[in-house]
Amino acid sequence: MRITLQKLRKFALENLRWLPNFKPGEHTALIIQAFIIGILAGLLNIAFRSTMEFVNNVIFKGGSTLLGVDQGGLHLLLVPLLPMAGALLLIPLSKGFPGQVNGYGFPQFLETVNIKGGVIKLRNILLKTLAPALTIGSGGSAGVEGPIAIIGGTVGSGVGQLFKVSGNRMRLLIAAGCAGGIAATFNAPIAGVMFAMEIVLLGNYELASFSAIVIASGIATVISRGHYGAFPAFPVPQYDLVSMYEIPLYMILGLIVGTLAVLYIRIFYGVRKKFDNLKLHPQLKPVFGAFIVGCIGIFLPQIMGNGYEFIEDALSGKIILPVIFLLIFFKMGAT
């Protein structure tokens, strides 16, 4: 054993002397940075989802059992207390970091990336893990896409600051982090790549940047699959194209969904404007909003949380059409 170790030491001294002075080329450095970002984005996705599941088990499921909501009847009137509990727990965070916890922060994130140089404070990782986890985990109507994209993008910015990059390289690393976050969350590396290139980079990218985003997205997906398994985000039944006459129906569906997207955006900003004008303490406005969501949840519990269970039920045909229409519009208002 001693002889073997001596040989290894001699080999290392003779053959790895170049390592301390190794300076990778620009493209090699980009690949290394993307690899690091992918690993961190995958691990932080696990941390984010684990935190959200913990909050859901403690506040929503545990609270439902404690309040007797599972028994139905008049106990259902206590449902609003569940999302309100999550909103109340957000108050210390909103006091400590005013303007960085409440509301939809993705537009500001894109502004920072594309206009303000992309230098993002690392505390965003903690804030965008705790705040959405408390909101969604307690039954608040919100999605994970924005928070996980910001978490991944912050990782990319942190790596960029570590390697002292700026400009387009910083934007690229942030986009790689966003791709890793989205890919790991939905187990969909291609979706992560497309999200980063079209949404984060706003379609302004070079072909050379494609490899870094693909690597970060792929590595993050591998880490997520290693922890959760290689399962799709939503179990989609097999659909077959029975007739060519179905194609125009899909075109009509695209028009309907696009129209609903525009409607959702208008409802979202309209409701936010109404809340801004409310004569209520700013830190109590989320609590009031949570109360409204809980009241809707008494009659339509599917609108609470991130809505994944509703999507799975809809894909498997377990929800009748009138309920789907109700959920579409009430989910818009609740979110």
Distance CA 47, CA 182 (A): 14
The rounded Cα 301 to chain-centroid distance in angstroms is 22
Domain boundary assignment for the chain: 27-228, 244-334
Distance CA 180, CA 196 (A): 9
Check residue 100 and give its pLDDT.
66
- pTM of the complete model: 0.81
How large is the C-alpha radius of gyration of the chain?
23
Check residue 37 and give its pLDDT.
92
Distance CA 146, CA 199 (A): 11
Q: How far apart are the first and last CA of the chain?
A: 64
Task: Assign 321 to helix, strand or coil.
Answer: helix
Check residue 220 and give its pLDDT.
92
Length of the chain: 335
Check residue 18 and give its pLDDT.
47
Check residue 83 and give its pLDDT.
84
Distance CA 26, CA 309 (A): 45
Is residue 216 within 8 Å of residue 37, measured between CB atoms? yes
Distance CA 166, CA 113 (A): 11
Distance CA 125, CA 140 (A): 20
Q: Say which residues have a Cβ less than 8 Å from residue 237's Cβ, sequence separation at least 6.
A: 315, 316
Check residue 17 and give its pLDDT.
56
Q: What single-letter DSSP state applies at residue 61?
A: I
Tens digit of pLDDT at every position of the chain (335 positions): 444 556 655 665 565 554 455 566 677 788 888 899 999 999 999 998 888 888 888 887 777 777 777 777 777 788 888 888 888 888 887 777 776 666 667 777 777 777 777 788 888 788 888 888 888 887 777 777 888 888 888 899 888 888 888 788 888 898 899 999 998 888 888 888 888 888 887 766 676 678 888 999 999 999 988 888 877 777 777 777 777 888 888 899 899 988 988 888 888 888 778 877 777 777 778 888 888 888 887 887 777 777 777 777 777 777 777 777 777 777 777 77
Residue type present at position 123: R
The angle at the Cα of 119, spanning 118 to 120, to the nearest 5 degrees, equals 105
HSE on the CB side for 159, CA within 13 Å?
Answer: 29
Where do we find the tokens 């949840």?
Answer: 297
The rounded Cα 198 to chain-centroid distance in angstroms is 16
Q: To which CATH superfamily is domain 27-228 assigned?
A: Clc chloride channel (1.10.3080.10)
